[in-house]
């Protein structure tokens, strides 16, 4: 399954990187954007990332700190060498329990082979040696989510989701199929709609909720995965990502995993801009 996931991401990334050559006849390096950026990890939490001088950790399948970015349409994401996630706050009881657990074995870090680093990143490392990812920002967007997945040579593959309110309206649900197989959804009693890989659809809530039925196609037959209910607030941007992942994020405390597919819900509340004093 892991190889299928990475193949999907590689195809998504190829679409992004193939745009790095030109944008409407203009170099992306010369095209400027100004917007808000959220980094989300497709896997484990990623510490010590920086966009310009702003530092942020990309959390697994959830939002963290929003970055206000103004600059080139080709977004550069760097990582501080040796960065670690902040330690979790624990009670005295939890600390004593941790002492009884076997020590965590950290695998040795493999030396980076420059031949594995994508050429687009390698070329820019002459000026930014800590560069680990590039993302192509859509023109005229006011907000994006950038998904980050492990790549070769210590870098990250990226896929950009345009979250401008014209693309992700408040009070609606946008559903993405990032799995390697076709899926089908019925929302609030509507007809089943099939989504192929990388396709998306919108669902309008009824009484501020979306009741959905999710199925997937395996061995040429449709299998029901789940029926569920999602609250959708009028002052929130809501999107559901359907994928196949072996990340620890989807593993429960007893080590079990539920469902052939995994679902992620990302929600963002409408921000109130501060009043301007005349």
The tens digit of pLDDT for each residue in 104-113 reads: 555 566 677 7
Q: What is the pLDDT of residue 36?
A: 97
Six-digit token string for 257: 């995993």
Q: What is the pLDDT of residue 258?
A: 73
| Residue 102 neighbours by CB under 8 Å, 6+ apart | none
| Residue 200 neighbours by CB under 8 Å, 6+ apart | 174, 175, 176, 177
244 shares its domain with 145: no
3-state DSSP percent of the chain in helix, strand and coil, to 5: 15, 40, 45
Helix (H, G, I), strand (E, B) or coil at 260: coil
- DSSP assigned state of 10: H
Q: For residues 68 and 109, is the Cβ–Cβ distance under 8 A?
A: no
- In a domain, residue 139? The reply is yes
146 shares its domain with 180: no
- pTM beyond 0.85: the answer is no
User: What is the number of domains present in the chain?
Assistant: 2
- In a domain, residue 219? The reply is yes
- In a domain, residue 276? The reply is no
Cα 167 from Cα 174, distance rounded (Å):
9
193 shares its domain with 158: no
- DSSP assigned state of 249: G
234 shares its domain with 107: no
pLDDT tens string for the chain (278 positions)? 544 545 555 555 444 444 444 333 446 656 899 999 999 999 899 999 999 999 999 999 999 999 999 999 999 999 998 777 666 566 777 667 666 666 655 556 667 778 889 999 999 999 999 999 999 999 999 999 999 999 999 999 999 999 999 999 999 999 999 999 999 999 999 999 999 999 999 999 999 999 999 999 999 999 999 999 999 999 999 999 999 988 888 887 666 777 899 999 999 999 876 655 65
114 shares its domain with 149: yes
Cα 247 from Cα 238, distance rounded (Å):
22
| Residue 161 neighbours by CB under 8 Å, 6+ apart | 144, 145, 146, 147, 176, 239
Instruction: State the DSSP string of 94-150.
Output: HHHHHHHSPPP-PPPPPPP-GGGS-HHHHHHTTT-TTEEEEEEPPTT-SEEEEEEEE
Strands 32-41 and 54-60: parallel
38 shares its domain with 124: yes
| Residue 268 neighbours by CB under 8 Å, 6+ apart | 38, 63, 163, 236, 237
21 shares its domain with 149: yes
Q: What is the pLDDT of residue 151?
A: 92
Mean of per-residue pLDDT scores for the chain: 85
Cα 3 from Cα 260, distance rounded (Å):
15
Structural domain harbouring 220: 173-269
Strand partners, 210: 230
Q: What is the pLDDT of residue 92?
A: 76
- In a domain, residue 252? The reply is yes
- In a domain, residue 188? The reply is yes
Q: What is the 3-state secondary structure (H, E, C) of 149-207?
A: EECHHHCEEEEEEECCCCCCCCCCEEEEECCCCCEEEEECCCCCEEECCCCEEEECCCC
Residue from 189, 193, 256, 194 nearest 227 by CA: 189
- In a domain, residue 274? The reply is no
Give the angle subtended at the CA of 74 by the CAs of 49 and 44, to the nearest 5°: 30
From 133, 162, 191, the end of a domain falls on 162
42 shares its domain with 158: yes
């Amino acid at each position: 399954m892991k190889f299928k996931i990475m193949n999907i991401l590689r195809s998504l990334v190829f679409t992004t990187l193939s745009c790095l050559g030109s944008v409407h006849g203009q170099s992306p390096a010369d095209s400027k954007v100004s917007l808000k950026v959220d980094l989300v990890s497709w896997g484990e939490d990623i510490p010590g990332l920086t966009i310009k001088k702003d530092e942020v950790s990309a959390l697994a399948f959830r939002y963290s700190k929003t970055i206000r970015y103004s600059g080139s349409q080709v977004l550069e994401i760097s990582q501080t060498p040796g960065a670690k996630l902040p330690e979790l706050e624990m009670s005295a009881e939890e600390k004593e329990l941790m002492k009884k657990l076997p020590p965590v074995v950290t695998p040795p870090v493999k030396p980076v082979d420059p031949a594995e680093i994508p050429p687009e990143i390698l070329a820019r490392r002459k000026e930014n040696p800590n560069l680990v990812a590039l993302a192509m920002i859509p023109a005229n967007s006011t907000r994006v989510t950038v998904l980050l997945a492990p790549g070769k040579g210590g870098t990250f593959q990226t896929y950009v989701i345009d979250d401008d309110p014209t693309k992700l309206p408040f009070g609606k649900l946008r559903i993405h199929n990032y799995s390697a197989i076709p899926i089908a959804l019925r929302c609030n009693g509507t007809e089943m709609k099939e989504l192929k890989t990388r396709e998306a659809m919108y669902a309008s809530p009824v009484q501020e909720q979306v009741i959905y039925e999710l199925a997937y196609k395996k061995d040429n037959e449709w299998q029901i995965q789940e029926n569920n209910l999602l609250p959708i607030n009028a002052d929130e941007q809501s999107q559901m990502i359907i994928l196949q992942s072996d990340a620890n994020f989807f593993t429960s405390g007893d080590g079990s995993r539920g469902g052939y597919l995994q679902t992620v819900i990302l929600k963002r509340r409408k921000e109130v801009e501060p009043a301007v004093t005349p």
